[in-house]
Amino acid sequence: MQFSEFSKICEQLEKISGRLDTIDMIASVLPSLDDDELPIFVRFLMGRIFPDWSQEKIGIGPNLVFESVAYVAGNNKSKVVKDINREGDAGTAVENILSKKEQTSFFTENPDLIEVYSDFKYLASIEGNRSQKEKLKVVRKLFANAGPLDGKYLSRLILGELRIGIGEGNIRDAIAKAFDVPAESVEHAYQAANDLGEIAAIAKKGEEELAKIRIELFRPVKMMLAKQGTIADMIEEQGAIAAEYKYDGTRFQFHKSGDLCRIYSRKLEEVTAAIPDIVEVLLKSTEHDIILDGEVIAVDDEGRPLPFQNVLRRFRRKHDVASHMENVRLVPNLFDILYLDGETLIEKTFEERRVLLERNVMSFVAPQIVSDDIKFIEAFYRESLDAGHEGIMIKSLKSAYTPGQRVRQWIKIKPSVDTIDLAVVGAEWGEGKRAHLFGSFILACQDESERLLKISKVATGFSDEALAGIYDIMKDKVISESGKVVRFEPEIVFEIGYAEIQKSTNYEAGYALRFPRFIRFRDDKGIEEIETISSIGERFRAQSEKVR
């Protein structure tokens, strides 16, 4: 498939509003693609370039895109930036600029999806001191061969802004429909393989092939996530349940094969090199080839947990790891097992997995109690808080491990603080002594198709240091600017506290936050983990019930 055809499909999909029509349209295209094109097409459609488990990143910011477009169109960069600021949307601006190129060219090459993808792969591989120049060369070539519409989607794809409303659910159902396989089989295989692109190509071969997909070492799967709920409801529904401490740390996934191991963060980024102390103790804790799920916490000299920020600081560290090891002592807590010596365990019940975990891992297994007595579990909850943890997790004993799913089989119980994770999509310049920094931030939640919807602004809760730090990170993610408002590549997640959720017509989401305040930077979380509009609706209803 030519990239230009892909652009046309994106354009059509953007015009379709119904979920079923969207799925039909995608399903009608998929069978025409060959095995090499399918994974790329599927990922591109979701606005992703590489598999979810992959560590590859193209590393192209707005600046490099604008410079390349300027070069190809025969404009200077400041004119391009001005056009983008006026338009507000980089994709549309690039489309306009390329439709009015002032520089002619001898030919365009109309690359196919595979050629574009191999250019992206090459971009991800470029490193070293000539890297910016080399990257510029590749991005220029991409835009030189792009028509106006191609340029629109190419720039959005590169900037992580495609968001044409094609989420995982739509793709899953489209794959099922296109290749006549059950959607559950697609979902199941996706949870293990963690790349819907690859799954599309396998689904083409049939349901039996999908059923063969297993978890593989060094190919991280998404973490299973918990919902909010109550101990009483859970016991009523499940009978006996397991309870564990809820750690105020950072989630990780440990993969080990022989003496080789890798540790992945919640965003599935490899962090092995940043935490050699954890690597060392975990390698000693088992002799098996294994994948474990757990949480790392920081502790003080008496072994009491320290706040989450201390852990993050270690996870982010690339240089000078050794000296920070002394400053912050980290301890792993292991609470699940996904893979053991070639066998995928995610379909086993939690009860069965716990037995395997205890039998095969000698240390750092997180304490657990099992009970159907609400009093007993409440006592455990208080004990957890007293020990300095965040609360408890209660888990169904019969549940499978469902990667990437936020499910009712896992419930988090913690003292009620109303906080919400939202994407930072824009900002306004500050005033006074904060005039050279971003002073307030525009926040968004997502709908079921991963479209971002603005819901609030936040301007309080920041220290001067926090604002300066945030500025450093966000300044390279600016896509456009108009007046005092800037727009960002959506990549960063804030945890925001609020007093109440209100209905509102001021924001796209239809809700607004009352008294929003910045709690912390959640750079352990990816943009796909932000709050959905439907769960905000649930929060809104729960809060009105409380009032009554």
Contacts with other proteins by CB under 8 A lie at 71-72, 74, 76, 101-109, 137, 140-141, 144-145
In the complex, least distance from residue 105 CB atom to other proteins, rounded to whole angstroms: 4
Comparing CB distances to other proteins, the nearer of 101 and 329 is 101
Alpha carbons 514 and 502: distance in angstroms, whole number: 7
Tokens of 80: 């391009």
Q: Would you list the DSSP string of 306-346?
A: E-THHHHHHHH--S-HHHHHHHSEEEEEEEEEEEETTEE-T
Alpha carbons 379 and 385: distance in angstroms, whole number: 10
Q: What is the 3-state secondary structure (H, E, C) of 142-167?
A: HHHCCCHHHHHHHHHHHCCCCCCCCC
Tokens of 477: 């993610």
Catalytic residue among 222, 246, 454, 525: 246
Give residue 483's identity as a one-letter amino acid code: G
In the complex, least distance from residue 140 CB atom to other proteins, rounded to whole angstroms: 4
Strand-pair partners of 251: 295
Comparing CB distances to other proteins, the nearer of 79 and 412 is 79
In the complex, least distance from residue 107 CB atom to other proteins, rounded to whole angstroms: 6
Length of the chain equals: 548
Give residue 439's identity as a one-letter amino acid code: G
In the complex, least distance from residue 136 CB atom to other proteins, rounded to whole angstroms: 9
Comparing CB distances to other proteins, the nearer of 144 and 241 is 144
Comparing CB distances to other proteins, the nearer of 147 and 169 is 147
Comparing CB distances to other proteins, the nearer of 106 and 546 is 106
Question: Other C-beta atoms within 10 Å of 475: how many?
Answer: 12
The CA-based angle 505-509-513, given to 5 degrees, is 80
In the complex, least distance from residue 63 CB atom to other proteins, rounded to whole angstroms: 17
Comparing CB distances to other proteins, the nearer of 12 and 108 is 108
In the complex, least distance from residue 98 CB atom to other proteins, rounded to whole angstroms: 12
Residue 246 bears catalytic tag: yes
In the complex, least distance from residue 102 CB atom to other proteins, rounded to whole angstroms: 5
Taking a C-beta distance cutoff of 8 angstroms, is the pair 309, 330 a contact? no
Taking a C-beta distance cutoff of 8 angstroms, is the pair 73, 98 a contact? yes
**CB within 8 A of 68, min separation 6: which ones?**
136, 139, 140, 142, 143
Comparing CB distances to other proteins, the nearer of 77 and 408 is 77
**CB within 8 A of 545, min separation 6: which ones?**
none
If 0-12 CB within 10 Å is exposed, 13-18 middle and 19+ buried, where does residue 171 land? Answer: buried
- Residue 526: closest CA among 197, 266, 159: 266
Alpha carbons 197 and 39: distance in angstroms, whole number: 3
- Residue 361: closest CA among 456, 453, 272, 285: 285
- The catalytic residue positions are 246
